[in-house]
Amino acid sequence: MTVKQLVEAIDARILAGDILGAFDQFAAEDCVTLSGEHDITRTKAQKMEALRWFFNNIASVNRIERVGFATNGNDSSDSQFVFEFTNQFGQNLVYSEVIRRTWAGEQLVREEYLLGAELPKAAAKTTKKVAAEKAEAPAPAPAKATKAPKKAVATEKKAPKASVPADDLTLIEGIGPKIAELLIAAGIISFADLAKAKPAAIKTILEAAGKRYQMHDPATWPKQAALARDGKTAELEALQAKLKGGK
């Protein structure tokens, strides 16, 4: 397959709402993904885990649109997408990004997410009609795909109504009141939740909230949260003394 054919194939699965399946089918085992200098996964398995965590907190997929695409030589491509989701707490998440891919043969070896970036207008215009047709054709599929998560979420929403209060996430170096609110809205309400979360998944939450949050690096937050969860106050304070803004 040519790079153009590969792009059409992977993007078709994404437009049909099967984002995990698209990555699973085309990514090499050592595929690297990155959204920034400190938000990197280095294997297919790591990225799949981050994606599963993210979609476990999504109640519905509202829109997936490919604005355009371009091939760059024989081994790279750019696809511009707009994604709109609603998480289980009713928060609307909108991502507008260019997905830059590097191919080796018919496998994806690198995928970079350029939030807020746009393709040159010429490239977007040449594919506007095709993108619209592909976005409309599989419309029924996402609707079916989101029915199950809604039912699953319906049972999960009962948990916050119980008696378990949110931990004070601002005790984690690097997390302020606003970021704590974002994490709680995404379902991370305790130190235990944060300890289990992957930095890449946390970074996705921050990036969805806007530019003012994209500079934050959550790499140490799960480790800090694990210490807080286990009551290891002295160890937590020792670790935080070495950090600057959570880094």
User: pLDDT tens, 95-146?
Assistant: 899 999 999 999 999 999 998 889 987 444 444 444 444 455 454 444 444 4
Same domain, 50 and 138: yes
d(CA 57, CA 3): 33
Task: CATH number of the domain at 116, please.
Answer: 3.10.450.50
Same domain, 136 and 192: no
Same domain, 115 and 148: yes
Mean pLDDT, the chain, rounded, equals 82
Same domain, 58 and 91: yes
Same domain, 109 and 173: no
Q: How confident is the model at residue 74 (pLDDT cuts 50, 70, 90)?
A: confident
Of the ranges 15-19, 180-184, 242-246, the best mean pLDDT one: 15-19
* Structural domain harbouring 111: 3-154
Q: Is the pLDDT of residue 90 over 70?
A: yes
Q: Give a yes or no: residue 246 inside a domain.
A: no
Same domain, 115 and 204: no
CB-CB contact of 160 with 184 (8 Å): no
What is the amino acid identity at position 162? A
What are the C-alpha distances in Å from 125 to residues 68, 73, 116, 129, 138? 7, 20, 18, 8, 21
Domain boundary among 154, 185, 218: 154
Q: Give a yes or no: residue 144 inside a domain.
A: yes
d(CA 186, CA 208): 11
Same domain, 60 and 92: yes
Domain boundary among 154, 178, 204: 154
Domain boundary among 154, 179, 213: 154
What does the pLDDT read at residue 71? 92
Same domain, 146 and 180: no
Among all chains, which residue has been given the structure tokens 């950090």? 243
| Helix residue ranges per DSSP H, the chain | 3-15, 19-26, 44-56, 121-126, 128-136, 140-156, 158-161, 177-185, 191-196, 199-208, 211-214, 221-229, 233-241
Task: CATH number of the domain at 185, please.
Answer: 1.10.150
Residue pLDDT, tens place only, 25-68 = 999 999 999 887 667 899 999 999 989 988 988 999 999 999 99
Please count the structural domains in the chain.
Answer: 2
Same domain, 110 and 170: no
Same domain, 57 and 149: yes
Q: Give a yes or no: residue 124 inside a domain.
A: yes
Same domain, 141 and 229: no
Largest CA distance in the chain: 60
